[in-house]
């Protein structure tokens, strides 16, 4: 009779490690293929309302510094609304905000925004404030397109609409600046926000 085969004590540990490695690979593969679905449509609607209010207030400002301050405050409020809306939506679907898709969305969205901040400072210091509306809309649109590549299909479409509005802002007379930004940051956010809220769960 052949003697019973003795298991090496390290075999169960090796099997466990291999199973954990396989699970980790499966999870990472699913994260890479998943879309970032926490873009909040209702937050987009709120951001549009903030922009429409800012446009109404900014057009009354005669001082360029005051005009710029109105739009920068609106940008800060909108950023807080967007992050808060995404946090609420990600919690409701049980997905961490900065999971794999969330990190890819943020890392793709951020570079055009950083460039926009630097150009805002440069254009303001050089007295070229008239170029700011078009620059903001173009770079924000670029950020939405690049970030939206990791999200639902309507998001990059929204980004392209922002970029078209930015091109219009660069070609339009300076007196139209607030109206074009109301169209872009205001109306487009509201329209696309309602589409996202209806088709993608809030």
* Whether residue 86 has pLDDT greater than 90: no
User: What percent of the chain has pLDDT above 70?
Assistant: 81
- pLDDT on residue 24: 61
pLDDT tens digits for range 112-149: 999 999 999 999 999 999 999 999 999 999 999 998 88
Q: Judge whether residue 38 has pLDDT over 80.
A: no
CB-side exposure of 109: number of CA atoms within 13 Å?
Answer: 19
Q: What is the pLDDT of residue 30?
A: 45
Which one, of 106, 58, 101, 103, lies nearest residue 79 by Cα?
106
First CA to last CA across the chain, in angstroms?
69
Rounded to 5 degrees, what are φ and ψ at 91? -65, -40
Structure tokens at 179: 């109206």
Query: What pLDDT shows up at residue 148?
Result: 82
| pLDDT band at residue 201 under the 50/70/90 scheme | confident
- Per the model's pLDDT, the better-predicted residue between 176 and 17 turns out to be 176
The pTM (predicted TM-score) of the whole model is 0.80
pLDDT tens for residues 139-172? 999 999 998 888 788 889 999 999 999 999 999 9
pLDDT band, very low/low/confident/very high, at 182 (cuts 50, 70, 90): very high
Q: What tens digit of pLDDT does each residue of 7-28 get?
A: 555 555 666 566 566 556 555 5
Of the candidates 182, 189, 122, 195, which has an alpha carbon nearest to the alpha carbon of residue 161? 189
Determine the average pLDDT of the residues in 26-35: 50
Average of per-residue pLDDT values in the chain: 85
Which of the pair, 23 or 54, is modelled with greater confidence?
54
Structure tokens at 82: 């967007």
């Amino acid at each position: 009779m052949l003697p019973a085969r003795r298991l090496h004590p390290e075999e169960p540990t090796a099997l466990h490690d291999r199973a954990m490695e396989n699970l980790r690979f499966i999870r990472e593969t699913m994260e890479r293929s998943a879309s970032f679905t926490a873009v909040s449509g209702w937050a987009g609607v709120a951001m549009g309302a903030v922009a429409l209010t800012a446009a109404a207030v900014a057009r009354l400002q005669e001082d360029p510094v005051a005009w710029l301050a109105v739009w920068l405050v609106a940008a800060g409020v909108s950023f807080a609304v967007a992050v808060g809306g995404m946090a609420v939506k990600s919690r409701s679907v049980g997905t961490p905000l900065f999971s794999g898709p969330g990190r890819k969305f943020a890392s793709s969205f951020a570079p055009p925004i950083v460039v926009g901040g630097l150009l805002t400072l440069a254009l303001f210091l050089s007295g070229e404030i008239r170029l700011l509306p078009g620059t903001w809309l173009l770079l924000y649109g670029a950020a939405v397109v690049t970030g939206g590549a990791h999200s639902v299909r309507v998001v990059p479409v929204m980004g392209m609409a922002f970029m078209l509005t930015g091109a219009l802002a660069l070609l339009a007379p300076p007196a139209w600046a607030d109206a074009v930004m109301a169209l872009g940051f205001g109306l487009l956010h509201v329209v696309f926000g309602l589409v996202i809220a209806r088709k993608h769960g809030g």
